[in-house]
Structures are given as structure tokens and as C-alpha cells.
A and B are shown apart, each in its own frame.
Chain A
Amino acid sequence: MEGVIIGTLLVMMAAVTVVIALQRNLFSVVILSGVYSFLMATVLVALDAVDVAMTEAAVGAGISTVLFLSALYLSRGEELKPLHKPLLPLAVVIATGAALVYATLDLPAFSDPGAPIHQHVAPRYINDVMRETGVPNAVTAVLASYRGYDTLGETTVVFTAGIGVIVLLRRLRSGKKEPR
């Protein structure tokens, strides 16, 4: 049953992607990418990854859509016709996609308990998390405690990204003001 739900959602996502690629109206593209994010979030809920699903719904469907729309307000609403036929990019994309699909053939089957990822540190986290941290949600314990360094790095990345956007957009704005 779960497989059917996930399969249906993935087919819908593929359909949305094809429509996005064919669509020339950028407003539709922005809204469809929001739809894509919501479908992705639903897939993640079906995979029991509610933490990631929340992030996908809030960032992918919520905040990115708002940012895209405000960027769209500054530009034209229609995508321009490409100057030449995109044959080379198409070939690169198809080759990369085929390589990735070929690589997945070597991966262990989905939710196979014998897969290497379930043999390394995962059993220790799952067995010892309550005794060592007293936090029932193992995701939070791994994120904030066992992998505290990584999360500090991630927070710093978010910080750096924010500073970068501030520097870029502020300079543009004051640069525009000067000629007036």
C-alpha cells in the first residue's frame, strides 16, 4: 500500500517536472515548483521522515515560492525562446541521468536491514540514545548531540549564506541610488 502511494506521488512529481520544463510562463513555473515541493514533502511523510518533510514544505513550498515571486516581480513574466537548440545540454543531462540510474543498480534494496548504512553507527544510536541523552527522538539526538559539530557547521553555512545575500543585495541597492 505504501509503495503504491509513494509510486503515485513520484509519477505525479515526474509529470509536474515535465510540465515545468515545457512551460514558458514563469508564474506557472513558480507555482508548479511549489506543487512539486508539496508532493516531495508528502513522499517524505510516507517514508516516515517527518522532520525533512516539514522543512521541505516550509522552505521549498513556502519561502522559496515567495522569494521566486518577488524576483519575478522584477523581471518579465515569460521565458525567452532559447537562441539555439539545446542539444548539447540535453545530451549531458541524459548521460548523467543514465549514469546515476546505472549507479543505483549497485545500491542495496530499499529498507534492506542488511545494508551497510544500518550496520555501522545506526544500531548504537538507536540502542543507546535513551540511556545516553534521554531524548526519545533519535533524529534530534543525532543532530544536536552526537553530530553537534556538523550542525554547528550547518548553522555557520546558513549564517554565511545570509551574510552573502546581505552584502550582494545591499551593494546593488546603494549602487542604484547614487546616480539619482
Chain B
Amino acid sequence: MSAEFPSALILLIGAAVVPFVRGRARAAFLLLLPVLAFLHVLTLPHGEYGRYMLAGHELVAMRVDGVSLLFAYVFLIATFLCAIYALHVKDKLQHVAALVYAGSALGAIFAGDFITVFVYWEISAVAAASLIWAARTERAFRAGMRYLVVQLTSGMLLLIGALLHAGEAGTLQAGYIGLGGLASYVILAAIGIKCAFPLLHNWLEDAYPESTPTGTVLLSAFTTKLGIYMLARTFPGTEALIWIGAAMAAFPIFYAVIENDLRRVLAYSLNNQLGFMVVGIGVGTELALNGAVAHAFADILFKSLLFMAMGAVLFRVGTVKGSELGGLYKSMPWTTGFCIVGAASISAFPLFSGFVTKSMVMTAVAGEGHVGVWLVLLFASAGVFHHAGIKIPYFAFFAHDSGKRCEEAPRNMLAAMAIAAALCIAIGSLPSVFYQLLPYAADYEPYTASHVVDQMQLLVFSALAFAVLMRTGVYPPELRSINLDFDWTYRRLAPRISAGVAYMLSAALRTGSACASSAGRHVAGRVFRHRGPAGVLARTWPTGSMALWLMLMLLAYLLLYYL
């Protein structure tokens, strides 16, 4: 197939075929599709293909370069891993939604103009919402609705921004914009929602933990990375992003420490990792941009791995609440091991993937002289180890024994986790091979003696802090609870305000209508008296009486005439 053919169509057409294939054939088909798409992507030469005209603007379906290829590779690896992980699922809806979601995400990565991006974004939003709804609970339905409203808003803002931008700059090409002018702010807001900027973030923590065990894994891979990808395309080197990213890296870890639902803890740590990428894009040097996209690549793998481990727990035990779990290493030793690899990767332990990707961003930030931001990111690095690296495995698999006993995760889930874990270790152990995939020439060596020692000190002493707080009983226990976040404003505050306004309006209406109706009744009463059914003017009179009156009038006329 040529480069004119959009790779996304392989998955999208495949999704349409899935409902008609059954049993082992379907399993084989689901595994084959991402492999076929991957082979197609491997053949793509750099350049722009699939051009078409729309209302005088040239649109580009396939923009192939270092950045889009890197994201395409990791998206297809994630699709393949999720296909293995979900092989046991009988629900056709989930398979179709997963393929449409992955296909539209791939389409959005290759799209070279805002209109094509918009179309793929909207398809991916609907497919992702279907994956959330697939849990088939009331909570999931509501969370999916909120997710859909937020994502469609993001898409609409992108479209409005793109049209404004076309008016200002005369092009729809999804290239560098930079802050300045209304269009750029609208587009940044659209991308900011996808990237989960602070205050625009809550759809992520709200919706992802409500999906099915398999659905959440796929969700964690794509939507936010579509945002990061577009941000890297349109706003590299925008200084405001450094501050936004630093805030993003820091604030979710406080929530992660006190959150009980372990998949929601992972959603908060996903938000925190996105912060590192946003900072990297904000710094905008080649090293920083390499770091941002490399970290996106690594994050998709280790975050999928962690969500897979928690999904396996949910699948076997029926809950992922820290307050209900503990001691599962006895029942699920393999899942425990894979989870620890994921935890070590997100925590950036030497030899694991996070170490070789996040450090590029850290070095770039320090190198550009942003010492304050560097300290915030260092705090976030220690914090992410604390809540994702230690808390997740500790409360699920160790801590006090909950007495829960279950089977080990199904073999397909273990296989997917094993591959993801192997990739995390491969990237971390052989960075020079991985760095060749990066868009800019990478002259960066992560394994220096001082870097390894620094990182080990940071992590080991963070672990020590956890152990000390745990032994002294200071560490807050896992409690059955939720924590208020920004979603409170639209789930509680706004409905209350609108209910209050509605109450006041109806009260005003009642008073107004009372006055109006008393005045109205007065007028109506008069009209009714004269013209109502019993009124003088509406009375039906007998024909005889009319004839009598007529005769009397004629008689009177006659009399008057003679007089």
C-alpha cells in the first residue's frame, strides 16, 4: 500500500468487520490489524501525502515525519498490547470501540491540517465515551457523558480556533502557531483540555477509572497524548507552558496520596507525567522536545502496564480500592512483579524507561536556567515515586493482608503485561537504540555516574520517607472516600447555582403571574359577564321574541309616521 493510503483506515475498516467475525478468527483478526497497520507505517517515507482540497484550502491526510512516526509506533504498540490484554472479552462493542478509538487516534497523529485533526478528534471522543459506557454502570454512564461533553467542547474549540487562524494566517496547516492573537488562545484552550491543563484536567480523573478493566488501559494511552502531540506541533517554546506544566506535575500528586481508588491514583499520576511533557514543550529546545516526546512514548508503555496490573486486580477481585485490598502478592505473584516493573519505570529508576526519558526534560530545564521549575519537577519526581511507585504496589499487593484470595490474572493479560514490562526495561537499558527514533539528533547520555547516584539518592530516600511514615503511623490510611476536585464546580456548584436561579426565577414568575392573573381575572370577569355563555350579548334569543320586537318596532314606526 502506498503512503497516500491513511494508515488509520486499516484499523477503522477493520473495526467495521469485527462484528461479523467470531471465536478464534476474531481473536486472530484483532491481533492482526495493529500488526498490519504497523507494517504499513514502517514503509512510509517522510513527506506529505493524501492531499485534498476543501473550500479552497489544501488538507493533508498523511504528514509523515520523525514526530508523527514516533507517536504512530507507540500508538500501534499500545493497540497491539491492549488487543492481547482484552482477548478474553466477549463484548463486541468494546472491541469495535477500541479499534475505532485507536484508528482515529492514529489518524489524528498523521493529520497535517486542523480540519482533519478535528474530524479524528471527534471520532475518538465518541469511541472513547463508548469504552467508558461499556462498563454498563450508572456511574460510568454519567462519567462517560461528562467525558463526551468535555471532549466535544475541545473539538469545537479547535475548529473555531482553526477557522479564526485560517482567517488570520491564511492556512489550515497544523504547524507552529505560538501565542498571540485570539485564534492561538482558542486553539491552546482546545489542546489544553486534551492535555489536562490545571482546571481543565478533571475529565481525566473523573472518567478513566469508571471504564472496564480493559477499556481504561486503552484510554490512558491515547486522548492525552493526542493533546501532547498537537501541543508539540503548535506551541513549542511557549514560555507559559513551562509554568502550566510545572503546576500540572505538582498538584495531582497531593490528590494521588489521599485517593482510595487505585485506578484514580494512576489517573492523577498520568496527569502529573503530562506535566513533565508540557514543561519540555514549553522549554522548546531540541533536547527538551526530544525529552517531551520520548517521555510520551515511555509513559504510554509504563502507564498501560500499571493500568493493566490494576485492571487484572479489578477483574479478579472486583475492586481496586486501596481500603479493600492488600496481600494479593500471594494470589497474583506475576501481576505483582509486572506492576513493580511499571512502578520502577514511572519512578525513573536507572535501567527502566522513565530514567532515560524524563531526565532529558530535567536537564533541559536546568540547562535553560529555570531553577525554580527544576525544583518543582524534582519534587514531582520524588512524589510520583511515592504515590505511583510505592503506593500502588504496596496497597494492592502488600500492606496488611486483606484475606482476599483469587486466581492469577488470565494468561492473555499476563502476556500483555510481560511484553509491556520487557519494553520498559529495553528502553531503559538500551537508550541509544531508542534515541535513534527521536525526531532530533540526540546527543544525550543518561548513564553518567553522578546522574545515577543523584537519582538513586532521590528515590531511595523517598522510599525511606514512606517507610518511616508507615512505621510511625503518620501515613494517612486508605479510607473509603472520594476527594473534591475541580469537577465539584460542574457536578455540584453549577447545578446548585442553576437550581437556585431556577428557584428565584420561578418565584418571580409566580409573583408576577399572581399580579397579572388578578388583573387579568378582573378584565376577564367583565368580558365574561357581557360576552360569556350567560352574558347579555352572547345570549341566544328565541326567534319569536325577535319577531315580536321587530313587530313592535314597525308598529312604533307606523305610529310615528302618522303622527
A and B found bound together: no
Give the interface of A toward B (CB within 8 A): none
Give the interface of B toward A (CB within 8 A): none
